[in-house]
């Protein structure tokens, strides 16, 4: 699936629910978020049908996200059904880790072996504050469980925020030094709620890197391990066991290599995370469309994939993304 800028689109991120067991302040509002009703979100069979058709067109990788994917009922059976789609080479999962002690084993058994766990602070009080009451110990237990069960790689995603986590950058780096994990620093993006405090909390990746290299020596890992790999710049931490990744959607503008589509929980297909255009897949599916019509729809969405997002770090661009990340899936 080539778009008009010759990018090969082979990666889909699927949000299976907009519900979450955390309330991260930059991701969703404290109150007032209208949770989608049962019928508003795509049924698992609808997602499976869409993915099967897209795989037929060249999709090779799916990441399951949310909201928090582990809170949706029937999630393990859904993974097993995805695993049966011939030609789908890679399925991975992004979770906040809270429910991993309970589910890690069955997720692994169902066939997902690659996992990203989001963790923005290693301090219990700060973690509770940013997540609206989350319990850090549960996530740490979840990470431990994921390691015991055998997930590989385990990636720890941390959204770097000025005035919040700048004093923890070296603590996060230490994890990558001691454990065979990939610790990834992500720039805060100006979505719905996050717009409010984006400017003051935005922390560009080069500042994070400067801090890390004051303590650790990093060596860039060149090239991608496989063609559906994401946009992170990955470094080996010299003398350590793990890796450090940097994801800089704003300062780094990696749109030229973007290979993604995104499916929201309520069935909208987006070709760019940081633009508001989306296309109503749910409506089409519920009109009992044929596979030919579905393929045409996918082609049309890909044809309209923009060359790049138009968000910059300047204040006049901060109101570009209206939906919260919890609705889109990250």
- Tell the smallest beta-carbon distance from residue 10 to ligand SAM (Å): 20
Which of these segments, 20-28, 76-84, 275-283, 297-305, binds ligand SAM (CB under 6 A)? 20-28
Could you say whether residue 94 binds ligand SAM (CB under 6 A)?
yes
Our CA dihedral for 278, 283, 289, 292, rounded to 10 degrees, sits at 0
55 or 139, CB closer to ligand SAM?
139
Could you say whether residue 151 binds ligand SAM (CB under 6 A)?
no
141 or 284, CB closer to ligand SAM?
141
142 or 330, CB closer to ligand SAM?
330
Could you say whether residue 27 binds ligand SAM (CB under 6 A)?
yes
- Tell the smallest beta-carbon distance from residue 97 to ligand SAM (Å): 8
Alpha-carbon gap, residue 75 to 65, rounded angstroms: 11
CA distance to 31, 36, 64, 321, per residue, from 41 (Å):
20, 7, 15, 21
74 or 87, CB closer to ligand SAM?
74
Alpha-carbon gap, residue 151 to 111, rounded angstroms: 10
Q: Which residues, numbered 290-329, are part of the site for ligand SAM (CB under 6 A)? A: 325-326
Could you say whether residue 172 binds ligand SAM (CB under 6 A)?
no
Q: Which residues, numbered 181-200, are part of the site for ligand SAM (CB under 6 A)? A: 186, 188-189, 191, 194
Our CA dihedral for 163, 167, 172, 178, rounded to 10 degrees, sits at 180
**How many binding residues for ligand SAM (CB under 6 A)?**
20
Could you say whether residue 273 binds ligand SAM (CB under 6 A)?
no
- Tell the smallest beta-carbon distance from residue 288 to ligand SAM (Å): 31
Alpha-carbon gap, residue 28 to 104, rounded angstroms: 25
The backbone torsions φ and ψ at residue 104, rounded to the nearest 5 degrees and listed phi first, read -55, -45
- Tell the smallest beta-carbon distance from residue 198 to ligand SAM (Å): 8
- Tell the smallest beta-carbon distance from residue 299 to ligand SAM (Å): 28
Of positions 12, 60, 62, 66, contacts ligand SAM by CB under 6 A = 66
Cβ atoms 88, 82 nearer than 8 A: yes
295 or 320, CB closer to ligand SAM?
320
Our CA dihedral for 277, 24, 174, 234, rounded to 10 degrees, sits at -10
- Tell the smallest beta-carbon distance from residue 317 to ligand SAM (Å): 14
Could you say whether residue 95 binds ligand SAM (CB under 6 A)?
yes
Cβ atoms 79, 51 nearer than 8 A: no
53 or 325, CB closer to ligand SAM?
325
Which of these segments, 88-96, 122-130, 137-145, 292-300, binds ligand SAM (CB under 6 A)? 88-96
- Tell the smallest beta-carbon distance from residue 44 to ligand SAM (Å): 17
55 or 273, CB closer to ligand SAM?
273
The backbone torsions φ and ψ at residue 67, rounded to the nearest 5 degrees and listed phi first, read 20, -155
The backbone torsions φ and ψ at residue 187, rounded to the nearest 5 degrees and listed phi first, read -70, 140
Q: Identify the sign of the CA torsion 321, 41, 78, 26.
A: positive
Residue number of the CB atom closest to ligand SAM: 330
CA 5 to chain centre: 24
How many CB atoms sit inside 10 A of residue 308's CB?
14
Of 106, 79, 74, nearest in space to 93 by CA: 79
Cβ atoms 124, 136 nearer than 8 A: yes
Residue ranges that bind ligand SAM, judged by CB under 6 A: 20, 26-27, 65-66, 68, 94-96, 118, 157, 159, 186, 188-189, 191, 194, 325-326, 330
């Amino acid at each position: 699936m080539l778009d008009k800028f010759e990018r090969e689109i082979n990666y889909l991120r699927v949000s299976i629910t907009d519900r979450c067991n955390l309330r991260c302040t930059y991701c969703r509002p404290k109150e007032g978020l209208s949770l989608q009703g049962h019928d508003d979100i795509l049924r698992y069979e609808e997602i499976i049908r869409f993915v099967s058709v897209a795989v037929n067109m060249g999709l090779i990788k799916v990441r399951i996200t949310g909201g928090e994917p582990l809170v949706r009922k029937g999630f393990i059976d859904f993974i097993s059904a995805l695993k049966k789609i011939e030609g789908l080479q890679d399925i991975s999962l992004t979770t906040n880790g809270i429910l991993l002690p309970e589910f890690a084993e069955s997720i692994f058994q169902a066939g997902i072996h690659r996992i990203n766990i989001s963790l923005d602070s290693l301090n219990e009080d700060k973690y509770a504050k940013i997540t609206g009451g989350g319990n850090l110990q549960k996530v740490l237990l979840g990470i431990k469980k994921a390691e015991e069960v055998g997930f590989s790689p385990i990636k720890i995603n941390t959204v770097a925020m000025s005035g919040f986590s700048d004093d923890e950058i070296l603590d996060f780096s230490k994890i990558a030094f001691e454990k065979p994990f990939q610790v990834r620093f992500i720039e805060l993006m100006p979505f719905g709620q996050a717009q409010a405090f984006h400017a003051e909390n935005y922390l560009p990746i080069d500042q994070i890197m400067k801090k890390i290299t004051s303590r650790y020596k990093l060596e860039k890992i060149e090239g991608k391990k496989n063609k559906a790999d994401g946009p992170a710049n990955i470094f080996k931490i010299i003398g350590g066991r793990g890796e450090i990744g940097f994801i800089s959607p704003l300062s780094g503008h990696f749109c030229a290599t973007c290979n993604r589509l995104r499916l929201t929980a309520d069935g909208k297909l987006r070709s760019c995370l940081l633009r508001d255009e989306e296309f109503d897949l749910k409506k089409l599916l519920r009109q009992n469309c044929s596979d030919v019509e579905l393929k045409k729809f996918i082609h049309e969405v890909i044809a309209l994939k923009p060359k790049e997002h138009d968000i910059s770090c300047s204040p006049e661009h901060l109101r570009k993304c209206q939906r919260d990340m919890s609705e889109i899936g990250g």
